[in-house]
Amino acid sequence: MDKKQFEQYESIPVEKFQLAQSEVNHDVKFDTKPVGYFRDAFNRFCKNKASVVAAVIILCIVLYAILTPLFTFRFGESFLDPYYAKLGPRNLALSKIGIANAEVTQDVDEKTYMYYLGLGVGAEDSDGNGATWQDGANSKYNVVLRIKEEYKFINKTQRVIGIESYLAKGFIYMQIPAERYDEIIAWEEKNGLKVIYPAIDTANGYCADSENANYWYKMDSKITPISTKTGEDVAITIANKLELEDNYLRDDDGNVRYFVNVGGSSTTSPEKKVRVLYYNYYIMQNGFEPEYIFGTDSQGYDMSLRLAGGIRLSLLVAIAVSFINLLIGTIYGAIEGYFGGMTDLMLERVSDILSGVPFIVVATLFQMHLASKVGPIPSLLFAFVLTGWIGTASRVRTQFYRFKNQEYVLAARTLGAKNFRIMFKHIFPNALGTIITSSVLVIPSVVFSESMLSYLGIVKLGGANGTSLGTLLSDASAIWTNYPHLMIAPALIISLLMISFNLFGNGLRDAFNPSLRGSEG
């Protein structure tokens, strides 16, 4: 710009100028609070919907494991009834709407159908005076819940029926002292429930199976039920509508007998062999009707309690392994990555040697030689920890190599910070996301590995006071096709834990990543 142009601009009057208007009020004071590291991490985690859902699922599973023993107060984890083993879910309230009614579907011929209906008839005939099909059909002990299908097969009637598996156990024989017999009779009179039923004559040639207390009616040499008259017309029809003739043991006057004296000596009174309705005997023994919301396992334990105990044991083992691996792996990897050089070279060779040891071989040897001395759980922990920390150490080592030459680390070293402070005050927080993720992901890995070892029979963590998820799967592996509820529940829990912990770990990784601090996620 030359002098003439400058003078031209200089001669512009002041009133020609106008101040630019701004919508921003620079006099406003913004009152903000700094967001802490963990608060910022929590905010970012909450924005990851999949991780939040996974966290809720994990929380629900943990609460189930903790609260189930408190609400299932009638049972203890050691409560066992082998006669009701491998039965399905049963709840008296839900069974009224067709849920959890312990129903089992069977395809039966006429004789088997009559056998199941006969259980209800026999339960109504407590005095030996006889009961009809209608009595059995209306009885609360009626085994047949419904007829799903009826068809002809080679001129014979076949039915697909639903039976109540707890009531289908029917009657059993028991041998009890005379004093116990008197106690049961007194309980019957007090509570109005019949436990001891008429004894069966097993020696007259009309008993199909002397060991089966459910054959209360006469059967001929062809194992065909013997009838006495035409029965009543009932909703659940029987071919020819025949009433069965009882095969009760009677005295000379024709009165039914309720026991047979067995054993005894010159100094002891004979014991009594009795026929009891097991459903009522269970009530007498425990004070309540059998109810198992998840059914019973292969031994007769309450499946809901066993599942809760399995979750607790599996998660405790997994969390203990994760914590120990985190502690060892963090220290080991930090030393490798920070100091490098010969230190890193020597420690890496140790890791290489241990990583070449097959885990399944270590677990097997520990269970064979160490479990008998320290127990199966400590032995399993040793097997997991022996090589489990190597992955964590490798990740920490990588992170320390990545951050140790950053400007803020060099500045801290210049200002005289010690190695320990630099490692765990300046570098470690930047590696925290990766470390936490690897630690969380160890948990489903341990649960899965324990399940695999239990399934193969290498580890057995089951007992009267508890079990693991893997042991539940192992116990169900041979019979799950007939009793699918034994496999479904633990398999579902393991699947949910695997998926949820992976999603949860990914959310924690992003939440604790310092490079994302203050971002919108």
Does residue 413 or residue 195 have the better pLDDT? 195
Inform me whether the pLDDT recorded for 11 exceeds 70.
no
Across 28-42, 59-73, 204-218, 277-291, which has the greatest mean pLDDT? 277-291
- The pLDDT, as a whole number, for residue 60 is 95
Please state which of the ranges 191-195, 321-325, 413-417 shows the lowest mean pLDDT. Answer: 413-417
Domains assigned to the chain: 90-286 (no CATH), 303-516 (1.10.3720.10)
Mean pLDDT of 277-304: 92
Across 269-273, 305-309, 372-376, 399-403, which has the greatest mean pLDDT? 305-309
**Conformation bin of residue 150: beta by default, left when phi > 0, alpha when psi is -120 to 50:** beta
Inform me whether the pLDDT recorded for 7 exceeds 70.
no
Angle (CA) 382 506 384, round 5°: 5
Please state which of the ranges 322-336, 355-369, 394-408, 453-467 shows the lowest mean pLDDT. Answer: 453-467
pLDDT band at 406 (very low <50, low <70, confident <90, very high): confident
pLDDT band at 69 (very low <50, low <70, confident <90, very high): confident
Cβ neighbors of 413 (< 8 A, separation 6 or more) are: 422
Q: Cα torsion for 405, 407, 408, 414, to the nearest 10°?
A: 80
pLDDT band at 235 (very low <50, low <70, confident <90, very high): very low
Inform me whether the pLDDT recorded for 280 exceeds 90.
yes
pLDDT band at 185 (very low <50, low <70, confident <90, very high): very high
Return the exposure string of 450-462: e unless at least 16 CB atoms fall within 10 Å of the residue's CB, then b.
Answer: bbbbbbeebbbbb
Residue carrying the six token digits 């399934």: 455
Mean pLDDT of 449-460: 84
For 47, 298, 483, 484, the CA distances from 479, given in Å and listed in that order, are 44, 9, 6, 8
pLDDT digits (tens, 9 = 90+) for 80-89: 899 999 999 9
Inform me whether the pLDDT recorded for 61 exceeds 90.
yes
pLDDT band at 122 (very low <50, low <70, confident <90, very high): very high
How does DSSP classify residue 212? -
Cβ neighbors of 402 (< 8 A, separation 6 or more) are: none
In 202-361, where do the E strands start and end? 227-230, 242-244, 259-262, 271-277
Would you say 134 and 121 are in contact if contact means Cβ atoms under 8 Å apart?
A: no
pLDDT band at 264 (very low <50, low <70, confident <90, very high): low
Please state which of the ranges 49-53, 175-179, 515-519 shows the lowest mean pLDDT. Answer: 515-519
Would you say 243 and 133 are in contact if contact means Cβ atoms under 8 Å apart?
A: yes
Would you say 454 and 474 are in contact if contact means Cβ atoms under 8 Å apart?
A: yes
pTM above 0.85, yes or no: no
Tell me the DSSP string of 364-392.
HHHHHHTHHHH-HHHHHHHHHHHHHHHHH
- The pLDDT, as a whole number, for residue 162 is 93
Mean pLDDT of 208-220: 89
Summary mean pLDDT of the chain: 84
Mean pLDDT of 308-333: 90
Give the integer Cα–Cα distance in Å for 365 and 368. Answer: 5
Mean pLDDT of 368-393: 87
Please state which of the ranges 111-115, 229-233, 433-437 shows the lowest mean pLDDT. Answer: 229-233
Across 173-177, 367-371, 403-407, 413-417, which has the greatest mean pLDDT? 173-177
For 37, 169, 222, 374, the CA distances from 308, given in Å and listed in that order, are 36, 27, 49, 25
pLDDT digits (tens, 9 = 90+) for 249-259: 998 888 999 99
Inform me whether the pLDDT recorded for 511 exceeds 90.
no
pLDDT band at 30 (very low <50, low <70, confident <90, very high): low
- The pLDDT, as a whole number, for residue 17 is 62
Two structure tokens written together for 470: 């893997």
Residues in a beta bridge with 103? 164
Does residue 241 or residue 236 have the better pLDDT? 241
Does residue 71 or residue 7 have the better pLDDT? 71
Angle (CA) 394 395 401, round 5°: 90
Mean pLDDT of 215-238: 68
- The pLDDT, as a whole number, for residue 168 is 94
Would you say 385 and 318 are in contact if contact means Cβ atoms under 8 Å apart?
A: no
Tell me the DSSP string of 67-84.
HHHHH-TT--TT-B-GGG
